[in-house]
Amino acid sequence: MWKYGFASVVGTSHAGSSSPVQDSSRAEVVIDSGDGEILIAAASDGAGSAAQAETGSRLACDLFVEEVKSHFAGNGTWPQLADGFIESWIGKFQNLVAGRADDEGLRVQDFACTLLAAVIGDECAAYFQIGDGAVVESRRDEKDHYRCVCWPQQGEYANTTNFLTDADAAGKAFQELKTDVVDEVALFTDGIQSLVLDYRAGAAHSPFFAPLFAWLRPRPGGYSQELSDALATYLNSEKVNSRTDDDKTLILASRRRH
């Protein structure tokens, strides 16, 4: 069974102004038609300059999880996730925020945010990304080896990235469908990417992930509030805040036997 938890915490740069956390995260496990478990996880970082960044990131996570659940509930297949799903989903997201913007006298860009998502079944895994942050996986045949599935995207200019509200977001989206057996996965926004990625090697920093997953494996199956609380405490610790002042999100999930 999948064991998982997630947390999004406000950065110290926002805490002083009482600004809300602009990151969002969500994860669920659903059962497919063959009684197998499918993990659905999504993380989003609201653009710091966007007036409704926290709303945009929450809508992105909620819409992604609900659309994937509907996909499999309607007997959708894994290949279909790599055949137009993300383009269609981006259109739905942009229409959703356009409606909110019209109702509230705002611009679509006021809901700017990124997306990191993973959908993992018994023998398939699909990944999606628009913007910065990254996803790290560990396959069953490579225990305790953590590889970066996608690398943080850089926008047209330095220190910028891509957002779901960009007119050409669908063309910038990363997507990958694998037939590997993935037992562990982590999703994280740009608030901690410099702490957990080895930029020189272009790889994940395995010593960061190995102890976290070792702690998670013995936990009972399903969502873990204990893990989520522990992640929030860690992300808000002096050790982390001394190295980054941005909002931070981390999702961890494992089905590896202890």
Total domains in the chain come to: 1
Greatest mean pLDDT among 9-13, 159-163, 250-254 lies in 250-254
Residues in the chain: 258
How much is the pLDDT for 155? 76
Diameter over CA atoms, the chain: 52
pLDDT band at 210 (very low <50, low <70, confident <90, very high): very high
Domain coverage including residue 19: 3-254
What span, in angstroms and rounded, lies between the C-alpha atoms of 11 and 6?
A: 16
For residue 216 the two structure tokens come to 């998670």
For residue 110 the two structure tokens come to 């006021």
pLDDT band at 247 (very low <50, low <70, confident <90, very high): very high
Residue 199 belongs to domain with CATH number: 3.60.40.10
pLDDT band at 15 (very low <50, low <70, confident <90, very high): low
How many CB atoms neighbour CB 205 within 10 A?
16
pLDDT band at 154 (very low <50, low <70, confident <90, very high): confident
If 0-12 CB within 10 Å is exposed, 13-18 middle and 19+ buried, where does residue 113 land? buried
pLDDT band at 16 (very low <50, low <70, confident <90, very high): low
How much is the pLDDT for 158? 66
Alpha helices by DSSP H, the chain: 12-15, 53-73, 78-81, 85-104, 169-172, 190-196, 206-216, 225-235, 238-241
pLDDT, one tens digit per residue, over 83-124 is: 999 999 999 999 999 999 999 999 999 999 999 999 999 999
pLDDT, one tens digit per residue, over 120-139 is: 999 999 999 999 999 999 99
Residue 197 has pLDDT above 90, yes or no: yes
How much is the pLDDT for 170? 95
Specify which residues 6 forms β-bridges with.
251
